[in-house]
Amino acid sequence: MRRSGKVSNSRTIKIPIVKILGGVFAATVVLNYVLVQLGLPSKSTVTYGIAVVIVAAVGGLALKGWWLSLKGGTPTTPNASKLAQQFNYVRSMSGTQFEHFMASLFRALGYRATVLGGAGDQGVDVRLEKGGETIAVQCKNYGKPVGNKPVQEVYAGMGYHGATKGWVVAPAGYTRGAVDLASRLGVRLHDERSIRSWIQKLGTAEAEQVSRHQPSATVTEKPDEGGAPTLLGRPSAYAEVDTTSTSNPQRYLKDYDMLLESYREALDVLQDLYSHKRENAASYAENPSLIEKWASTYSTISTKIGNTLTTMDMLEKLHQEELVAEGRVARRKELSARRAEIEAT
């Protein structure tokens, strides 16, 4: 719910029907002329019908895109790296954008999130559902700590939406009065640290999911019955990186070093994977299922490398000069050259 000059999600949509119909007619006439020039019969209902169908199809797609833009787009569930990158620019988000950002984060965390912000939201911007529980969320992307009002609004909205819990999410934090009131009402307050913690939790979960299927740097000496190598997974280091840390120069250097190590380990696995395929070429040729297992393992390694490189890109964007001066970017280029060499064999 937005107040104090925040942009409202409620819009009065004015559609100039006469202008739209005029534009459709003009487009149809022009297209009919083009079709005639291309060899279709002139003054033919068939030619004109084709023009109408084409204009209708294009217009329908345009109308769909326009409507989705008004509704804030379709729900998406970006990964932790993408969410961390977006959160770097939270201060430039409008109220509506922040609500949709939080909804995307909650969806990624496994909630069913519905954005309600706007007129008639009854104090609830986002409704969360998970495991039979409903949570009412008020989102406030203000430039200063928020006061009592959002706490009061979400508390009132809990009953209206049948929620068992009420949360307020405000990156800028809260006044002492808001904290005291929330404590009395049982409303939970979440600030910038909470959002970063959620993103970190998501990154860790993604890394653990990858690790269950991901090769480690060690391949067993005796593959199972001549099959694909048995590999043990390791979590990706990128999940532990705070890409927004700017105050401590040693922190981002340490984070980048962790990513370099993660990249190196993934390349060790990739090299073992290619070596195993070369050394057991006959087995792979005779058993197509081994090729499928090999391809699946390769895809998992590539996913880990992709996540690692994405996080490196984010750190380089924030600390380009320092990372170049410290030789970290050069080290990354060496590893990328090694990857190209491995995959060329």
pLDDT of residue 118: 66
pLDDT one-digit tens code per residue, 218-252: 333 333 334 433 333 333 333 344 444 444 556 77
User: Is the domain covering 80-194 a CATH 3.40.50.720 domain?
Assistant: no
pLDDT of residue 123: 83
Q: Say yes or no to pLDDT of 34 above 90.
A: no
Q: What is the pTM of this model?
A: 0.45
Question: Which of 48-62, 222-236, 254-268 bottoms out in mean pLDDT, i.e. has the lowest?
Answer: 222-236
* Average pLDDT, integer, range 250-257: 77
**133 CB neighbour count, 10 Å cutoff:** 11
* Average pLDDT, integer, range 200-204: 81
pLDDT one-digit tens code per residue, 267-311: 888 888 888 888 888 888 888 888 888 888 888 888 778 878 877
- What are the domain boundaries of the chain? 17-70, 80-194, 212-344
Q: Say yes or no to pLDDT of 94 above 70.
A: yes
Residues making up the chain, counted from first to last: 345
pLDDT of residue 92: 84
Q: Which long-range contacts (CB under 8 A, 24 or more apart) does 207-212 make?
A: 207/235, 207/236, 207/238, 207/239, 208/235, 210/235, 210/236, 210/300, 210/303, 210/304, 210/307, 211/235, 211/236
Q: Say yes or no to pLDDT of 79 above 90.
A: no
Q: Say yes or no to pLDDT of 137 above 60.
A: yes
Tokens 């959160």 sit at which residue? 87
pLDDT of residue 187: 93
User: What's the N-to-C CA distance of the chain in angstroms?
Assistant: 58
Q: Say yes or no to pLDDT of 4 above 60.
A: no
Better pLDDT: 68 or 166: 166
Contact between 84 and 244 under an 8 Å Cβ cutoff? The reply is: yes
Residues 6+ apart with CB under 8 A from 89: none
